[in-house]
Amino acid sequence: MTDVVVVESPAKAKTINKYLGDNFIVLASFGHVRDLPPKDGSVRPDENFAMDWQTDERGAKQIATIAKAVKNADTLYLATDPDREGEAISWHVRAALEEKNLLRGKNVQRVTFNEITKSAVQTAMANPRALDQPLIDAYMARRALDYLVGFTLSPVLWRKLPGSRSAGRVQSVALRLICEREAEIEVFKSREYWSVTGAFATPRNAGFSARLTHLEGRKLDQFDLDNAEKAHAARDLVASSAFKVRSVERKKAKRNPPAPFTTSTLQQEASRKIGMSAQSTMRAAQQLYEGVDLGGETVGLITYMRTDGVTMAAEAVHAIRDMIAGSYGAPYLPEKPRVYTSKAKNAQEAHEAIRPTDVTRTPESMARHLSGEQMRLYDLIWKRAVASQMQSAELDQVVVDLADPANRTVLRANGSIIAFDGFLKLYSEGRDDTKSDEEEGRVLPSMSEGDSLSTRGVEADQHFTQPPPRFSEASLVKRMEEIGIGRPSTYASILTVLRDRNYVRLDARRFIPEDRGRLVTAFLTSFFERYVDTDFTATLEEQLDDISDGRADWHDIMAAFWRDFSAAVAQTKDLKISDVIDALDEDLGSHFFPAREDGGDPRQCTACGTGRLGLRLGKFGAFIGCSNYPTCQFTRRLVAEDGAEGETLKEGMKSLGQDPETGEEVTVRRGPYGLYIQRGEADPENKKIKPKRTTIPKGLEGDKLTLDKAIGLLSLPRKLGPHPETGEMIEAGLGRFGPYVKMGSIFGTLDADDDVLTVGLNRAIDSLAKKLASIRTLGTHPKDGEAVMVRKGRFGPYVQHGQVVANLAKGQAMDDVTLDEALALLAEKGKPLKAKGKVTRKAAGKGGTSEAKAEKKPAAKKTATKTAATAKKPATKKAATTRKKSAASEDSSKPARKSRTATTTDGEDAG
């Protein structure tokens, strides 16, 4: 009989099966096989937090496969990952099989290994254990917590803050960190300060620079020189003084190597040094852990990648030390192995640090076996692990003070050199902020106390203080780890959820909160402050870790949490929307209405000029509205999606001024298809006379539209000049589908960043060039003198005269047809285009997109005729039903309306 081994992934199953041989069947669970049903009531606090579990279609299929194999096995080995989630997956597999009564008389064992190598797997199989119940309890507590927060708090958000998404337990705290950092940046007031730097030369004429530190006997603080007048006075004083070397201080310093990678430090360094997101980092790390093909053998290259431990196995340390001695020499090898301890809050350190499984597999030797991402990450992991056991770097630091004869004006020069590179020979740790230290690594010339110096020049430089930097993925993960929220396995999913919910966006690899995210944070901090408090969340993490270690009962932890949380939610039952609006308006007022440069009221309505703008809540979310509603219906969206304009006027309008030529008022109005510009008003006595109107180009906001711009748009189309070859006039216009240029019946599309009001003749000719290459004018028609052309259509070339088209003979090339042949084809086979596809000046005014439709007509001629001839009413109800189903099937290509889901875990949805 063969025994059964269950792991998570097929890749891992394939590798481990090779190590274990034919006496084992290794199957993959594909992650979790069961989960809480995404509906209310799956966790029941009143029943001591009883939970319902369900198996989806994929999970049921995997359980069925495992069940079939287990029937003929003596032992079931549960070999999922060595962490809380891995323990939970094993527990779910066992529970699902027990429900089918398949484990009676079977031996069920749990095995774990930190690396997928033959020796590690065989050692683990020889030392099985029972399932770790405290770890399972911790999983149950976290799952229940995330579910209850998601299904309790998210509906409150939907009711009280329409347009918001879901609220996750840890995700909301991470979002708060990003939003609070943005608020700090917004209120930051930059301060001016100056520095004075002198260029000097030693008696041997070696140059160096020094910065002013003491002036008139007093040490300078950062803002003592806070304007140009003071800075220039100090500069002139230094320039007019003679200086000698007052002191030279030399000291040696050591820089120790960083610890090998944990999950969070790996994500941080991958972000800083090779630009990989947390999600990409974990995906590539998973592939390296599960194994890659090395000449026909699948081998795991790194140890388990979800860990907060910084220690390495003794045999791994010895192997790395042997590598250092052999490759870099004895000076780079410390006398004793280095031992590291984690500085992270709540670190469990249950597993090893992330390291190569075999240090002799250097990045260079693995390059041909790995993808680009895998190679960059493996190189980082290998170098960090090896460097962690190397000798410290030694630096010689020099500090030189220069002083005037009275010792009242002092300048300082700093420099350092690397006396011994140590671990820096292999690896240098990255930094979150790239502010370079100009003096680091600078070598100063040889000087002695009392040396007279010559002054070569003095400069005064202006500086301004900078706001705190926005969080990058690296710095946010670091901050979350420092305060103890989230776990190593959740960081990547938390950051992904924040972006997927459109709460934040990444710009230049920095997190910027969207208005939607700021509204959610403001709401939660106003009405659920405790549950997005970092200290509370960190304390809860500690309690969950106590459960993992068997020091606390998960039911007790859950009961205490639920008692207070449900009471807080109950208090919002009678919460009025006006209360929410007032709280959000007060909290975010400075963000939505920043101070104006001209000192005017930032809340003054830009449409009516008398109303006060403020935050409002509508069916589809928050927006900015005018206090003069309904007289003034000006609104501004907080979140513009799918390219929609950020401002709307509903049924109201905004006056831009009067046209200087006609004296008519030019206004911005809102129609059924968006904002448009209108000059004058309709004539009530003659409805046929309509005022001039034009659409506003995409990307141009209504509140930024000027009178001159509006008049320019109303004057379209505008003439650019004649084509240099044909002599025909080229015009630029704005159609339904955007800006275009046209020459006769030939149209060219302009790019979105082309300004139709300023585009030149050369750009227009370039745009028309492609179309002209597919069109040839044969001459004029003898009846009306209009052009007869041959065009390249989607279904082959055809000739056209006005609204009449005819296909060329099969195989006939465009260049071969003559005017006489074209006239004959038009007379014999030609037919007028249907109204939908005809090329007219009216259609051209909409952007000239009818040309493509005209091209399709000739080839579709027979099909269209046949369809028209056979299009009859269905003879039976069955036929009618069939037709309706067919129509419904065609309509199924339209995107389905998205359903709202509550976040139950930081990266998963629950209904």
The string of DSSP letters for 297-315 reads: EEE--B--SS-------HH
Q: 716, 726 in Cβ contact below 8 A? A: no
Quote the CA–CA distance of 8 and 6 in Å, as a whole number.
7
**Residue 742 carries which side chain, given as an amino acid letter?**
K
- In 94-217, at which residue ranges do the beta strands (DSSP E only) sit? 107-110, 192-201, 207-215
Which residue among 304, 378, 531, 798 is the active-site one? 304
Quote the CA–CA distance of 906 and 909 in Å, as a whole number.
9
Q: Of 703, 660, 652, 697, whose CA–CA distance to 679 is shortest? A: 660
Q: Of 779, 777, 834, whose CA–CA distance to 804 is shortest? A: 834
Q: Is 36 helix (H, G, I), strand (E, B) or coil?
A: coil
DSSP class of residue 643 equals T
Give me 244's structure tokens: 């000698």
Give me 33's structure tokens: 């096989």
Give me 350's structure tokens: 């249950």
Quote the CA–CA distance of 19 and 383 in Å, as a whole number.
28
Cα dist from 847 to 31, 716, 733, 802, whole Å: 52, 12, 8, 18
Q: Is 144 helix (H, G, I), strand (E, B) or coil?
A: helix
To the nearest 10°, report the CA torsion of 448, 450, 452, 455: 80
Count, residues in the chain: 911
DSSP class of residue 532 equals G
Quote the CA–CA distance of 207 and 406 in Å, as a whole number.
24
Q: 670, 649 in Cβ contact below 8 A? A: yes
Q: Which residues contact 37 (CB under 8 A, 6 or more apart)?
A: 52, 53, 54, 911
Q: 805, 788 in Cβ contact below 8 A? A: no
| Upstream peptide bond of 630 is cis (omega within 30 degrees of 0) | yes
Annotate 313-345 with b (16+ C-beta within 10 A) or e (fewer).
eeebbebbbebbeeebeeebbbeeebebebebe
Quote the CA–CA distance of 489 and 282 in Å, as a whole number.
9
The string of DSSP letters for 320-373 reads: HHHHHHHHT-GGGS-SS-------STT----SPPB-BS-TTS-HHHHGGGS-HH
Active site residue 77: no
Q: Which residues contact 54 (CB under 8 A, 6 or more apart)?
A: 34, 35, 36, 37
Order the strands of the 831-832 sheet from edge to edge.
775-780, 787-793, 796-801, 804-807, 831-832
Q: Is 254 helix (H, G, I), strand (E, B) or coil?
A: strand
Quote the CA–CA distance of 631 and 654 in Å, as a whole number.
12
**Residue 631 carries which side chain, given as an amino acid letter?**
T
Listed in sequence order, the DSSP H helices in 484-637 are 491-500, 515-527, 534-548, 554-570, 577-592
**Residue 884 carries which side chain, given as an amino acid letter?**
K
Q: Is 378 helix (H, G, I), strand (E, B) or coil?
A: helix
Q: 844, 742 in Cβ contact below 8 A? A: yes
Cα dist from 715 to 101, 697, 734, whole Å: 81, 14, 10
Partners of 669 in beta bridges: 653, 676
**Other C-beta atoms lying within 10 Å of the C-beta of residue 235:** 22
- Active site residue ranges: 304
